[in-house]
């Protein structure tokens, strides 16, 4: 009997991958616009200047508060009932969130919109698992790499589109959010009506909550997976500590008048876009030199970029350093995904992919909140300096683990040699 996954080969898998790619792109565009425009939007909503530093980070943390405990449930529910329904649910929720953000009249209403974003999370791992099951095996690595660049491209295009509409055509921030809501409805229709259901090879049986607990414990009992999740969490933490404050760095340089949205787009968009384009090259470097050495180098570059960014005198220099930061982030993601694809046993691979962004959600709560406290105490430069320290800590951790693994391998080799007849 043909398994659901093998039957998926008869589907138009290119259409499924394209629909998932566009869904990822649109979601990232909208979220990038929210983060890039939030400081200016809070000012428009009447938040005092003295409070913006703290609340920019706190509002960013709200995104993940609800999403974190739901991540394991969405992955299991998708495998048990319907992956397509989980993806469509995410797109419809994000449309509602963007519409609510557009309608906000006071800061607390914007806070509610940020909190509700948590209900839209949990779709990326589901799409990755679906792509793995429907794509011909000989093309899987290439297809996953193509899917992976959808998010960085979205994070690049989102601020660029917003800057062009606001500074070039006089759109309001609310109008930009409503456009993102319309795009999200479009992706819900695209996935809901334009793709087929992709079922996993093994359909889980039992209570969703019990299955979610087993998936979490099974994934986190694996030492190698814990390490990879920790590395991914370090990178996300370094980014989440500082990224919400990048628009404020730009505002400090160019002022709050006309051109601010475009300047933010240049600084945030260029880095994300170049990082996305470099990601496939990073994969080839990992294949040639090893995933962990390239990962250590990427973390070191991220530390340097985070350290330099607050001291750049103008938008072009900030954009150049942002390219380094985007490259480091994209390379780290490529290395972690490659290690997960090659080192996680097949029986746990689907659960691991469903939970792959769990470190992001944890870092997304801790990072902006920590950055807010630091920014309130030490100014907007503080979160970037802390981000550099976190990047370096990640690089040092991977270096120590690599040396430890080499020592263990050497001991095993010596033991095997001495025991041989």
398 has pLDDT over 70:
yes
Instruction: Summarize the confidence of residues 15-23 as an average pLDDT.
Output: 95
347 falls in which pLDDT band (50, 70, 90)? low
Instruction: Summarize the confidence of residues 169-192 as an average pLDDT.
Output: 96
Residue ranges per domain, the chain?
4-413
420 has pLDDT over 50:
no
Q: How many Cβ atoms are within 10 Å of 378's Cβ, its own excluded?
A: 12
Question: Topology of 4-413 in CATH?
Answer: Growth Hormone; Chain: A; (1.20.1250)
Per-residue DSSP letter, 165: I
- Among 111-120, 246-255, 312-321, 397-406, the least confident range: 397-406
Nearest of 244, 231, 410, 188 to residue 332 by alpha carbon: 231
359 has pLDDT over 70:
yes
Length in residues, the chain: 421
5 has pLDDT over 50:
no
pLDDT digits (tens, 9 = 90+) for 69-78: 888 888 888 8
* CA 29 – CA 180 distance, rounded (Å): 8
pLDDT digits (tens, 9 = 90+) for 187-246: 999 999 999 998 887 788 888 888 888 878 877 787 777 877 887 788 788 888 888 899
Triad 114, 115, 120: Cα angle to 5°: 85
List CB contacts of 270: < 8 A, sequence separation 6 or more. 156, 319, 322, 323, 326
pLDDT at 6: 46
410 falls in which pLDDT band (50, 70, 90)? low
Take residue 389 and report the two structure tokens written for it: 């320290």
Please report, in angstroms and rounded to a whole number, the separation of the first and last CA atoms in the chain.
48
Instruction: Summarize the confidence of residues 83-111 as an average pLDDT.
Output: 95
Residue ranges of alpha helices (H) inside 66-106 are: 67-80, 83-103
1 has pLDDT over 50:
no
pLDDT at 419: 44
């Amino acid at each position: 009997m043909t398994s659901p996954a093998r039957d998926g080969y008869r589907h138009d898998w290119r259409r499924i991958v394209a629909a998932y790619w566009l869904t990822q792109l649109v979601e990232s565009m909208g979220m990038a616009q929210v983060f890039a425009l939030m400081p200016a939007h809070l000012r428009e909503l009447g938040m005092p200047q003295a409070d913006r530093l703290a609340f920019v980070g706190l509002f960013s943390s709200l995104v993940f508060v609800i999403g974190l405990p739901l991540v394991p449930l969405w992955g299991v529910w998708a495998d048990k009932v319907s992956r397509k329904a989980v993806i469509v649910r995410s797109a419809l929720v994000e449309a509602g969130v963007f519409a609510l953000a557009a309608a906000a009249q006071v800061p607390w209403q914007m806070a509610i919109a940020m909190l509700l974003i948590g209900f839209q999370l949990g779709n990326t791992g589901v799409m990755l698992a679906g792509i793995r099951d429907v794509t011909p095996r000989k093309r899987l690595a290439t297809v996953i790499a193509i899917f992976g660049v959808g998010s960085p491209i979205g994070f690049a295009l989102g601020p660029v589109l917003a800057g062009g509409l606001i500074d070039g055509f006089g759109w309001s921030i609310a109008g930009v959010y409503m456009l993102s809501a319309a795009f999200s409805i479009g992706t819900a229709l695209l996935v809901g009506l334009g793709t087929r259901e992709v079922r996993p090879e093994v359909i889980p049986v039992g209570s969703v909550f019990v299955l979610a607990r087993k998936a979490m414990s099974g994934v986190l009992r694996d030492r190698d997976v814990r390490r990879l999740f920790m590395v991914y969490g370090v990178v996300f933490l370094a980014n989440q500590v500082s990224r919400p404050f990048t628009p404020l760095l730009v505002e400090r340089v160019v002022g709050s008048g006309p051109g601010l949205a475009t300047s933010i787009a240049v600084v945030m968009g260029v880095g994300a876009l170049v990082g996305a384009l470099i990601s496939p090259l990073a994969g080839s470097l990992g294949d040639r030199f090893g995933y962990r050495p390239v990962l250590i180098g990427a973390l070191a570059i991220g530390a340097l970029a985070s350290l330099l960014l607050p001291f750049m005198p103008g938008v072009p220099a900030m954009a150049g350093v942002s390219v380094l930061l985007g490259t480091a982030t994209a390379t780290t993601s490529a290395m972690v995904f490659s290690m997960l694809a090659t080192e996680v046993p097949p029986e746990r691979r689907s659960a691991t992919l469903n939970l792959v962004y769990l470190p992001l959600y944890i870092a997304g709560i801790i990072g902006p909140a920590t950055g807010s406290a630091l920014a309130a105490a030490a100014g907007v430069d503080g979160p970037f300096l802390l981000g550099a320290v976190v990047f370096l800590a990640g690089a040092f951790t991977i270096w120590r683990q690599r040396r430890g693994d080499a020592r263990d391998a050497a001991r095993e080799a010596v033991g095997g040699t001495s025991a041989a007849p």
